[in-house]
């Protein structure tokens, strides 16, 4: 027999549970803002979904536009995780109050202390080195074994680099400030400017090609640009890389400067548990391999296997173990120093 009261009660109960069911469905997803644009990232995200059942909704854009978008969205933002490159950009996002701290034994165990911001708000998951590239035919590598050598007057007219305002050079200067202090760091910047073969222009690939052509004797570049040219399908790139060599700077002192690709959980993340799980996944051996193969960067997890023959062929090196948080903290001063030194 039909029971009107029971029927309507059931309807009311079902209606009351609808938000809960919706939340349960939403919890099976992760909203990701990413500035990384590599084919292997597709496999990385797909594998996370396969392992966890959590679908990834992704928005990709440049680093600075994403940070500005998050700032404008505020508490209404649907984003759970930000993935981006360079410690300076992650630090700026932290200063804008965009991140939430993450307590995770997995991250503390897997990632070295230097790859974890002191307040646990963001983490580095892969490393790229700021190296010196030299022309094998015209330049003796013994003359530039350290960053400070680039300011030696004997190298006048030999040095190429991209803009001092670029975040890669700002992060390097941030590290040098920490090691040398402001005064010596500025003296170095002035010395490098005096040694320019030409005004700074182009990206890191352009610096390597300029060295290969003989326009410069030496240049500063991120290591993964060098490996990209090693792997390039273009014959002119392979010929260029045969004419240059790579130096790991400061192996007898503080080590070669390294920067990061990193990630953080957003302050207003609607799926916080999924976001933390994603960061922990990024520290797994499998995910670390995607980072290494996707952009020719070193895994942040020291024990992770490296299945990238060209990258591995560069050999082992001593890296600077400064905490990634300092690379962001010193960037405003780094820019002032470059401006005063005329490093445009």
Q: What is the CA radius of gyration of the chain?
A: 24
Kindly report, residue by residue over 273-326, the tens digit of the pLDDT: 999 999 999 999 999 988 888 789 999 998 888 888 999 999 989 999 999 888
State the virtual CA torsion across 110, 114, 116, 117 in degrees, nearest 10: 170
Q: What is the pLDDT of residue 272?
A: 97
Alpha-carbon separation of residue 337 from 168, 169, 173, 184, 190 (angstroms) = 15, 12, 9, 10, 9
Kindly report, residue by residue over 44-67, the tens digit of the pLDDT: 899 999 999 999 999 999 988 999
Whole-model pTM: value is 0.86
Q: What CA–CA distance (Å, rounded) separates 90 from 35?
A: 12
CB 294 within 8 A of CB 283: no
Asked whether residue 13 carries a pLDDT value surpassing 60, the answer given is no
DSSP string, 7-47: HHHHHHHHHHHHHHHHHHHHTTEEEEEE----HHHHHHHHH
The domain segmentation of the chain, as residue ranges, is 4-127+259-306, 128-257+325-341
Mean pLDDT computed over 73-99: 94
Bridge partners (DSSP) of residue 127 are 260, 298
Q: Do 4-127+259-306 and 128-257+325-341 show the same overall fold?
A: yes
Q: What is the pLDDT of residue 23?
A: 41
339 φ/ψ angles, rounded to the nearest 5 degrees: -65, -45
Kindly report, residue by residue over 241-288, the tens digit of the pLDDT: 999 999 999 999 999 999 999 999 999 999 999 999 999 999 999 999
At 39, the pLDDT band (50, 70, 90 cuts) reads: confident
Q: What is the pLDDT of residue 60?
A: 92
Domain 128-257+325-341 has CATH 3.40.190.10: yes
Mean pLDDT computed over 30-41: 85
Choose which CATH entry (3.40.190.10, 1.20.1250.20, 2.60.120.10, 3.40.50.1260) describes domain 4-127+259-306. Answer: 3.40.190.10
Q: What CA–CA distance (Å, rounded) separates 305 from 155?
A: 39
């Amino acid at each position: 027999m039909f029971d009107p009261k029971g029927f309507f009660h059931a309807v009311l109960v079902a209606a009351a549970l609808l938000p809960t069911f919706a939340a349960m469905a939403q919890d099976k997803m992760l909203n990701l803002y990413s500035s990384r644009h590599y084919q292997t990232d597709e496999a990385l995200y797909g594998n996370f979904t396969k392992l966890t059942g959590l679908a990834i909704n992704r928005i990709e854009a440049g680093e600075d536009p994403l940070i500005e978008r998050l700032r404008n969205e505020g508490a209404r933002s649907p984003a759970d995780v930000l993935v981006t490159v360079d410690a300076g950009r992650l630090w700026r996002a932290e200063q804008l109050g965009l991140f939430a701290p993450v307590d995770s034994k997995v991250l503390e165990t897997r990632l070295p202390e230097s790859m974890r911001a002191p307040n646990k708000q963001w983490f580095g998951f892969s490393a790229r080195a700021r190296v010196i590239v030299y022309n094998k035919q015209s330049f003796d590598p013994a003359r530039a074994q350290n960053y400070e050598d680039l300011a030696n007057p004997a190298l006048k007219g030999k040095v190429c680099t991209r803009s001092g305002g670029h975040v890669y050079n700002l992060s390097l200067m941030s590290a040098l400030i920490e090691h040398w202090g402001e005064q010596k760091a500025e003296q170095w910047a002035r010395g490098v400017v005096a040694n320019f073969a030409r005004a700074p222009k182009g990206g890191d690939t352009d610096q390597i090609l300029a060295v290969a052509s003989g326009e410069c004797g030496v240049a500063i570049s991120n290591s993964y640009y060098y490996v990209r040219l090693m792997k390039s399908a273009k014959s002119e790139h392979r010929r260029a890389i045969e004419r240059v060599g790579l130096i790991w700077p400061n192996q007898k002192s503080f080590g070669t400067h390294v920067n990061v690709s990193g990630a953080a959980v957003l302050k207003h993340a609607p799926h916080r548990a999924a976001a933390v799980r994603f960061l922990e996944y990024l520290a797994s051996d499998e995910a670390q391999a995607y980072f290494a193969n996707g952009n020719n960067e070193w895994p942040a997890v020291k024990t992770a296997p490296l299945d990238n023959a060209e990258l591995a062929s560069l050999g082992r090196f001593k890296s600077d173990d400064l905490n990634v948080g300092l690379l962001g903290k010193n960037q405003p001063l780094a820019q002032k120093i470059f401006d005063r030194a005329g490093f445009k």
